[in-house]
Structure 1
């Protein structure tokens, strides 16, 4: 029997809520929770955590990748409601952790109020924050080459000190009353990354992959740049959790992981920033040997996934002769058009969806 290595992608509106499970068999699983989605995600997550607790299995790790509302709201609800299980360790770059950085520069507003509330709730719950790093931020400068948890190997790709310093500057400014942000929204109704959507962009009438796959502006949002992104490996299989990480840092980190091999072999890539065109570059895709890609969003806020990102996957991701698989946790107006039979045959890929939008999508890595 092959070891179990599964990813459960919960319905999390436009956000992320991911449960990683691994072990020698179904009776000896370990679990890691990455992000909590929006507040409404808790109704899906709570019974899953309750089942883990009733089976006497541990939640080894809880990660809040960054402080945007579509990642943190569900975790605040988890603490407010009383989680049925306590994590052994929590990784979170809150204000107390960022205070231990060098004096920063730069600014971008974010969900500071929610993040401060999360820090206070964690303290009340007595859950250890970044104990693996002596209370310092989770960043490339403090993370070991590999981190092992019950046979699971973790390799950090983001953030670095520079990305966290940009977030710290904005948080300082908000706390000092110099800015009224803190809701998790970028200024002036803009999408994180600095792009004003002026409503959700309509899907192209024709999904022309060759035309759509060209370059576009990249994400510069400080909250997204602070994302904890990493590769998790178990039983010889690998998954990359992109969070909302900036493409420049992902490109650099993946090049270092690839080394002389040229490409990083992955069994699944959970795309950064819900399939935003601003966070997935040709360079990232061409640094990977990967044919399976997962996207978490219902497209309700910013119209993710962007058609440009999907087009780049089809054009530059993996080897087309081997076929690709796109995993969507919602069958939405942004994802259903990609299930067109002509497109799938032309670009040699398949689409997978949950049975309905109230069910999680489970992917065997």
Structure 2
């Protein structure tokens, strides 16, 4: 199995490619970045798949914010223009509302939906082409085996998904919240980054959970392939993830052990609390973020919670991976001095000269 985390600015886009138990290669896409990042990062990947005779067996869209669904909107535009054919076999997508689908011409591949919200455009396309999931994608669904890759859903709960739909009534003209940073961590805008605070100075137990209804509807999950596990947190609320981990039998004493964690909400302190990381045993943490956003994600407080967790395994060495390399990201630990890496036992890795971070975790 091979995983690619793409450069999607302050957004999420990843691909899992694995050799299934049918001896064929299969692909799962998780989110799609912004519309503006589709051509630079995903278009070539999709064309390569088609050339190899492969498909996207499952495309998971975690929630309706632009930095997660934007690339798919561009993908649908290219299908409409005839530049691409739809190569997606199945979708995981929770619609925010069940709008009325307009009549279509018999040969139309995608509707002219410029007058409706972006998340509604995806719904309309999937509905028209009979690709909508038969059930809501929630933690209530049973674990799924996809050609030998196991998917276990952790969030959203049915309650959190209903909150989203209650916010946007059926056939209402309410504008959907497009940007996840409209209601960012700790329910307030951050004026300055916290990079001048030393890692050892943060009050890591001081926590206020993100209030975003949209983030709370995120699809987060565990993927497992040949005993290698990855925790995909999307922009989920940590206390929801904890509840699902507890239902699976995990606790602070019996931690969920995995190979990688895709950290929630680009390292927002409102989506990553100490309690969550007390349930997790992992050495590798991925931050899908470039640091260049008006709310200064990742927040250093989030990193401090991971590193200083009191339930962290003794002697473990943590690795932080960023999908970009720039001066801002490299400044995060500058105030701490080089000795902090040995003191808190961690390394930092930045993505250079590539469109994606490539990970082979099949060995």
TM-score calculated relative to the size of structure 2: 0.84
Asked whether the equivalents of residues 339 and 351 of structure 1 are also in contact (C-alpha less than 8 Å), the reply is no
Residue 10 (structure 2) aligns with: 14
| 3-state secondary structure, aligned to 1:87 | coil
Query: CA–CA distance in 2 between the matches of 1:303 and 1:94?
Result: 29
Distance of aligned partners of 1:137 and 1:335 in 2 relative to their CA distance in 1, 3 Å threshold: same
Asked whether the equivalents of residues 139 and 244 of structure 2 are also in contact (C-alpha less than 8 Å), the reply is no
Q: Does 1:216 align with 2:217?
A: no
Distance of aligned partners of 1:212 and 1:296 in 2 relative to their CA distance in 1, 3 Å threshold: farther
Compute the displacement of 1:120 (Å): 1.9
Moved more, 231-240 or 28-37: 28-37
Residue 287 (structure 2) aligns with: 295
Asked whether the equivalents of residues 8 and 20 of structure 1 are also in contact (C-alpha less than 8 Å), the reply is yes
Compute the displacement of 1:122 (Å): 3.0
Distance of aligned partners of 1:209 and 1:23 in 2 relative to their CA distance in 1, 3 Å threshold: farther
Distance of aligned partners of 1:279 and 1:334 in 2 relative to their CA distance in 1, 3 Å threshold: farther
Compute the displacement of 1:291 (Å): 1.1
Distance of aligned partners of 1:19 and 1:322 in 2 relative to their CA distance in 1, 3 Å threshold: same
Select the residue among 254, 257, 262 that pairs with 1:265.
Answer: 257
Q: Does 1:129 align with 2:123?
A: no
Compute the displacement of 1:52 (Å): 1.5
Residue 319 (structure 2) aligns with: 325
| 3-state secondary structure, aligned to 1:59 | coil
Query: CA–CA distance in 2 between the matches of 1:204 and 1:12?
Result: 22
Compute the displacement of 1:212 (Å): 4.9
Query: CA–CA distance in 2 between the matches of 1:153 and 1:354?
Result: 28
Deviations 1:185-222 (A, max 9, x none): 47xx84335633254x2233243334253322111211
1:177-196 maps to which residues of 2 (within 5 A)? 177=173, 179=174, 181-185=175-179, 190-193=182-185, 195-196=187-188
Q: Does 1:312 align with 2:267?
A: no
Residue 55 (structure 2) aligns with: 58
Deviations 1:228-271 (A, max 9, x none): 10000001100011011111111111122234771111110101
Query: CA–CA distance in 2 between the matches of 1:95 and 1:191?
Result: 17
Query: CA–CA distance in 2 between the matches of 1:290 and 1:210?
Result: 23
Asked whether the equivalents of residues 93 and 138 of structure 1 are also in contact (C-alpha less than 8 Å), the reply is yes
1:276-291 maps to which residues of 2 (within 5 A)? 276-291=268-283
Query: CA–CA distance in 2 between the matches of 1:344 and 1:98?
Result: 52
Moved more, 78-87 or 249-258: 78-87
Gaps of 5+ in 2: 101-115
Q: Does 1:245 align with 2:236?
A: yes
Deviations 1:54-83 (A, max 9, x none): 111231100110001111111100111134
Distance of aligned partners of 1:262 and 1:333 in 2 relative to their CA distance in 1, 3 Å threshold: same
Deviations 1:29-58 (A, max 9, x none): 311001111112212111011111111123
Compute the displacement of 1:9 (Å): 0.9
Distance of aligned partners of 1:221 and 1:191 in 2 relative to their CA distance in 1, 3 Å threshold: closer
Asked whether the equivalents of residues 318 and 346 of structure 2 are also in contact (C-alpha less than 8 Å), the reply is yes
Query: CA–CA distance in 2 between the matches of 1:259 and 1:183?
Result: 34
Moved more, 201-210 or 35-44: 201-210
Asked whether the equivalents of residues 187 and 211 of structure 2 are also in contact (C-alpha less than 8 Å), the reply is no
Gaps of 5+ in 1: 100-111
Residue 230 (structure 1) aligns with: 221
Deviations 1:269-304 (A, max 9, x none): 101111110111111101011111111011333211
Query: CA–CA distance in 2 between the matches of 1:351 and 1:64?
Result: 28
Select the residue among 133, 154, 157 that pairs with 2:154.
Answer: 157
Query: CA–CA distance in 2 between the matches of 1:127 and 1:41?
Result: 27
Query: CA–CA distance in 2 between the matches of 1:164 and 1:253?
Result: 15
TM-score calculated relative to the size of structure 1: 0.84
Cα-Cα RMSD:
2.5
Distance of aligned partners of 1:34 and 1:289 in 2 relative to their CA distance in 1, 3 Å threshold: same
Compute the displacement of 1:24 (Å): 6.5
Residue 139 (structure 2) aligns with: 140
Asked whether the equivalents of residues 240 and 268 of structure 1 are also in contact (C-alpha less than 8 Å), the reply is yes
Select the residue among 56, 65, 69 that pairs with 1:72.
Answer: 69
Distance of aligned partners of 1:348 and 1:194 in 2 relative to their CA distance in 1, 3 Å threshold: closer
